[in-house]
């Protein structure tokens, strides 16, 4: 839930709302098992979930909070269209002329990666692992290529 955690941090910083002023949780999550080798580790699964933010007594009508969330998503979750993730669902309840309760549900998808660690707490494939960004090993050169290329000349 790195994306939801990062969004909460951004809201705290931009609005100066105390963390006690809003709740956040993940619901309706699904795990897509993958086991894709990344070189330095493994993408063990992809986690898709609804990140829910519930902000109580937000100052004003909540429009600037919605703009903040939209801007954060554009800057920090650029693959949303490629992944087919829906736009956020929003409910705003105006309490009075000075505050609103804002409920935002955002579909997220993110990779859960593990790396080998002899002190890790995840046993898999006869080894111990820990959750960590594995990075991707990228080949920087090709030493040799053998065989024919289809359609080559």
Residue 103 lies in a domain: yes
Three-class SS state of 71? helix
Residue 119 lies in a domain: no
Containing domain of residue 24, as a range?
Answer: 2-112
How many helices (H) and strands (E) are present in the chain, helices listed first?
Answer: 3, 6
Question: Is 146 or 88 the better-scoring residue by pLDDT?
Answer: 88
Residue 25 lies in a domain: yes
Residue 123 lies in a domain: no
Q: Which of 35-39, 41-45, 73-77, 146-150 has the lowest mean pLDDT?
A: 146-150
pLDDT of the residue at 84: 95
Q: What is the pTM assigned to this prediction?
A: 0.81
Residue 50 lies in a domain: yes
Residue 28 lies in a domain: yes
Please enumerate in sequence order all residues whose Cβ is within 8 A of that of 54, keeping only pairs 6 or more positions apart, or say none: 22, 23, 24, 101, 102, 103
Question: Is 61 or 141 the better-scoring residue by pLDDT?
Answer: 61
Q: Which of 28-37, 95-104, 142-151 has the lowest mean pLDDT?
A: 142-151
Q: What is the DSSP string of 16-58?
A: ---GGGEEEEEEEEEEEEEEEE-SSSEEEEEEEEEEEEEEEEE
Task: Please report, for the domain that includes residue 20, its CATH number.
Answer: 3.30.2000
Residue 6 lies in a domain: yes
Number of structural domains found in the chain: 1
Classify strands 89-96 and 127-131 as parallel, antiparallel or unpaired.
Answer: unpaired
Residue 70 lies in a domain: yes
Q: What is the DSSP letter of 85?
A: P
Three-class SS state of 97? coil
Question: pLDDT of 62-110, one tens digit each?
Answer: 899 999 999 999 999 999 999 999 999 999 999 998 999 999 999 999 9
């Amino acid at each position: 839930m790195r994306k939801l955690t990062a969004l909460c941090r951004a809201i705290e910083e931009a609005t100066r709302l105390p963390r006690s002023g809003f709740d956040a949780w993940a619901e309706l999550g699904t795990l897509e098992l993958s086991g894709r080798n990344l070189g330095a580790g493994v993408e063990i699964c992809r986690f898709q979930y609804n990140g829910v933010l519930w902000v109580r007594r937000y100052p004003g009508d909540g429009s600037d909070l919605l703009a903040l969330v939209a801007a954060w998503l554009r800057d920090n979750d650029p693959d949303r269209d490629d992944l087919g993730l829906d736009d956020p669902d929003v409910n705003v309840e105006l309490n009075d002329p000075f505050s609103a309760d804002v409920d935002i549900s955002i579909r997220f998808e993110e990779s859960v990666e593990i790396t080998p660690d002899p002190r890790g707490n995840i046993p898999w494939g006869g080894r111990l692992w820990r959750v960590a960004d594995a990075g991707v090993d990228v080949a920087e050169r090709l030493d040799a290529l053998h065989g024919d290329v289809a359609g080559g000349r």
